[in-house]
Structure 1
Amino acid sequence: MHLSTLTAALASAAAFTLTEAASKKASRTFGTLSFGGGKELSRCRLDPIVNPGGVASHMHSIFGGNAFSDSMPGDAAEKASCTTANVKNDHSNYWVPTLYFKSPENGTLYPVELFYAKVYYFFEATNDDIKPFPKGFRMLAGDASLRSPPNPAKNNLDPSKGTVTPVQWTCPRSSQDSNTPLYPPSSDGTAGVGVQDPSNGGQGWGFPDKECNGFASPLRADIHFPSCYNPNVSPENYKENNAYPSSNGMGGQDCPPGWVHVPHIFMEVYWNTLKFHDMWKQGQGYQPWVLANGDETGYSLHADFINGWDTKTLAYLIDNCDPGHAGLASCPGLPGGQTSEEEMKSCKLSCPLPEGSDVFGQPLPDNKLFGHNDLSGYQAGPYVAAGGSSPSKAQPPAAPRPVAAQNSAPVNADITDAQPTGASSPSASAYPSPAPTSVPEADPVGEPQGQAHEHTKYATSVRLHTVVKTITVDAGTPIVVAAAAKTAAAKKACRTRRPSRKSHRHHRAGGY
């Protein structure tokens, strides 16, 4: 063999070895994935995972590649001709149930407009080799049948430590509203409103009875997907092919023996709930939100994923890129490059179902959810489903009378001590602006920062992923008024700030 050829071959082998070694993570790396305008590819009553070849039980907000349809066997997602994701070689689909507002006065249902959505790709600290998803892989996070809070109400993504709680609601609030608890302290999550996360003053399970009015941060759905794949099960068998990793006792998370460690997907979905500011009264022990499956509690929050990644592109990102909030599209040498804003916004998919009008700001036709799902309220156990993720048509028991909110704060294990007066508010931006260095970046899967104290604490921070200055939003007229715009100074700050590694805390294991 010629010397130069031998040298090149050895260099190639060495590069391959280094790349393979990089798959084992001593510390967690991550990057975000954004969608054109933060909006959906489509809104439609289809679900190729739970209802393949048929019509889904409820409306979904769908993101990603335009190959989405009622039936997507094998690697169908990869055949998309365009995507709303800003990484061009990701043709995957992600979807969540659509959100609705129910008028407390007359029960009228209005669709709530999506405000913004983002996906995080975490490559966890692990002894495993992290590898791309197999072709045709699909999974579901959350349980569409739930109408009751987790017991115990505790952050947990580690199955070795108890029941996994993969979904929550986050509610950033302005400074003037932050002196009251997000959920009534007396609420056990079974009557009119959800239950407080004891380790985070800005989050909980089930819908809160407070208004989420942090700057550019209305009500947010948080969903963590599993990151372990069983190679002995079909990639399409979403009920048995995935699991959450467990702590390995060395600051990392490992999959069960013989399983494959894949990226950890985390979805943030903001809903423009501020448009309904004047149509309900906050802090009264009841809330007006309804998921598309008829759930009035919020406990059935869930999301679906079908893999459409180009395998080499995802492998490259796993092994070579840690952009944080700058986003996966910013990685140097990204195979395929990034999708331009124009390309993302022009990627469309019309819903093929003739199911009538569903116009933001307008009541639903006949005041019925698509799929004619009966509204189902708070119960002691999971709501009985008639099959798949669809709630049954049986009328649920009548919900107990709402519990009135109390004027005291919950114990909060992940916040600093503060006096009841002058407490700062939880706040976050739906936009990919980096956090100022004076405010530590919060972490969706970080370790708890401390243990709960016996005395009462007030919420001064919240695990959010992009923190900006808090302002008060003037919501104005119902239905037609959006959240307040950024000030000129804020816009300038967003243009000039750059990501700072110091402002992002990369915890290696634990809860959210």
Structure 2
Amino acid sequence: MKSFSVALALIAPVQAGLRFGCSSLTTQRLDPVVEPGNIPSSHVHHIIGGNAFNATMTGDVGERATCTTCEMSEDFSNYWTAVLYFKHPINGSYHRVPVINNAALATGTTGGMTIYYTQHDFYSDNLKNQPITAFPPGFRMTVGDPTTNTHEEAKAHVGLRYNCLNTLLDRGPELVDLPDRPCPAGIFAIHHFPACWDGKNLDSPDHQSHMFNTIKYDGFMNAPPCPASHPVRMPQLAYETVWDTTKFHSMWPAGTPNPFVWSFEGTRGYGTHADYLFGWEGDSLQRAMNKSECFYDGCGSIKKQPMSIANKCTVEDLVGEDTVGWLTSLPGQA
């Protein structure tokens, strides 16, 4: 299935939703959802959002943060994924792959991700009147599993896909695994989260069971109604990240396997995963989800900030290790 998000950004459907960019906040081994309190966590993460990010995060994050790397200035949530590395085919050393801007983001966005909060699918308005409940303070979830190691298992993670970019606007088909050839404009990774909540739990032991995914084939397809076990429809959350793999192409010998790996190493690209920790200020997200005739903007109710301001938002490096240059092993994986 081809990725349609850029094309759809250029039209004016009736569905409501948000699409905005967030610059990178930090890249280090912290994971307050899966490994709370661990300094460092098991593998490196690329993190965006509010400056309340820490090894342990509880309660209302939106009340504690004082700045955010996101264009939407009331969004103090944190979003993170594993980090992509190039593994040298000859000497086995690793180098972190930089993140570059996606298409159509606000001027000045630095790396980071594109974030979506949509009310329903992109292809019909048959759910137009279904109320959308914003995530409550303290809410968190994950999607994907770094232990996934077969194509069939990865295929079952609906909405976790890759594109081999010809350009930022020409993405080509979606792939279950990392591309098997050099990509002219880099590797595009997308993470869709489930949108049906059990209405009770802010988290669950596996960080996923309190949510349910009714989409069966593709992240941007029509979403059937929520089941009785998870009856509350929440915003459809998705991340898009563009990894600039182009500078490593000269070190990729023709005919050899893809040399890019996630920061947990894993098997191929099957273990791609992402974490989310809600932190919108007050009822700002709910106000946006209550709108029905806006798309890909602030919905007339959310404050925006220049990315020159967003880029000043930082957090402390609590781990203090090199994650960038040529490394003999992946941080935490020796």
Q: TM-score band (shorter)?
A: 0.7 to 0.9
- Is the aligned partner of 1:138 residue 2:104? no
Tell which structure's C-alpha radius of gyration is larger. 1
Q: List per-residue Cα deviations over 1:160-200 (Å, max 9, x = no partner).
A: xxx442311111227xxx9xxxxxxxxxxxxxxxxxxxxx9
TM-score where L is the length of structure 1: 0.54
- The match for 2:85 among 75, 100, 110 is 100
> Equivalent residue for 1:70?
55
Range 254-263 or range 123-132, more displaced: 123-132
Q: Is the 8 A contact 1:317 1:328 kept in 2?
A: no
Query: For 1:83 and 1:322, how far apart are their aligned partners in 2?
Result: 27
Q: CA deviation at 1:101?
A: 0.3
Give the count of matched residue pairs.
Answer: 295
Structure 2 gaps, min length 5: 1-12, 102-112, 217-221
Decide which structure has greater helix share. Answer: 1
Structure 2 residue identity aligned to 1:57: S
Going from structure 1 to structure 2, the CA distance change for 1:340 and 1:236 (only over 3 Å counts) comes to: farther
Inter-partner Cα distance in structure 2 for 1:210 and 1:61: 24
Q: Residue type of the partner of 2:323?
A: D
Higher fraction of strand = 2
Query: If the length of structure 2 is used for normalisation, what is the TM-score?
Result: 0.81
| Alpha-carbon distance in 1 for matches of 2:94, 2:215 | 41
CA contact (8 A) 1:83 1:91 kept: yes
| Corresponding residue for residue 110 of structure 1 | 95
Residues 137 and 236 in structure 1, CA contact (< 8 A), matched pair in contact too: no
* 1:31 matches 2:18: yes
Task: Give the one of 192, 196, 210 matched to 1:224.
Answer: 192
| d(CA) in 2 for partners of 1:246, 1:280 | 36
- The match for 1:369 is 330
Contact 1:219 1:273 in 2 (8 A): yes
Q: Which residue in the other structure is 2:183 paired with? A: 212
Correspondence for 1:312: 283
Does 1:278 pair with 2:250?
yes
Using the TM superposition, give the Cα deviation of residue 119 of structure 1 relative to its aligned residue in structure 2, in angstroms: 1.0
Please say if residues 144 and 273 of structure 2, whose CA atoms lie closer than 8 Å, have aligned partners that are also in contact. Answer: yes
- Give % identity: 30
- The whole-number CA distance in structure 2 between the counterparts of 1:264 and 1:202 is 22
Alignment-mate amino acid for residue 182 of structure 2: E
- String of CA shifts for 1:367-411, please: whole Å, max 9, x gaps: 1111125xxxxxxxxxxxxxxxxxxxxxxxxxxxxxxxxxxxxxx
Q: Alignment partner for residue 243 of structure 1, among 188, 197, 212?
A: 212
Alignment partners' CA distance in 1, 2:188 and 2:64: 31
> Partner residue of 1:297?
268
AA aligned opposite 2:179: P
2:72 equivalent to 1:87 = yes
> Match of 1:122?
118
Q: In structure 2, what residue type is equivalent to 1:111?
A: R
Residue 297 of structure 2: aligned partner: 328
Q: Shift of the alpha carbon at 1:246?
A: 5.4
CA distance in 2 between partners of 1:79 and 1:328 (Å): 25
Structure 2 vs 1, CA of residues 45 and 28 (structure 1 numbering), >3 Å: closer, same or farther?
same
Q: 1:165 aligns with which of 155, 158, 161?
A: 158
How far is the alpha carbon of 1:353 from its aligned partner? 1.1
Paired letter, 1:226: P
Query: Residue 323 of structure 2 aligns with which residue?
Result: 358
Kept after mapping to 1: 8 A contact 2:93/2:329: no
- 1:227 alignment partner AA: A
Query: How far did 1:122 drift?
Result: 1.4
Letter in 2 for 1:132: A
Report runs of 4+ in structure 1 exceeding 6 Å deviation. Answer: none
Query: 1:401-438 CA distances to partner (integer Å, 9 max, x unpaired)?
Result: xxxxxxxxxxxxxxxxxxxxxxxxxxxxxxxxxxxxxx
Can you list the C-alpha shifts for 1:449-471, whole angstroms capped at 9, x where unaligned?
A: xxxxxxxxxxxxxxxxxxxxxxx
Taking only aligned residues, the RMSD between alpha carbons, in angstroms, comes to 2.4
Letter of the aligned partner of 1:50 in structure 2? V
Maintained 8 Å contact 2:100/2:244: yes
Q: Specify the alignment match of 2:231 in structure 1.
A: 259
Alpha-carbon separation, structure 2, partners of 1:368 and 1:31: 39
Distance 2:182 2:215 in 1: 35
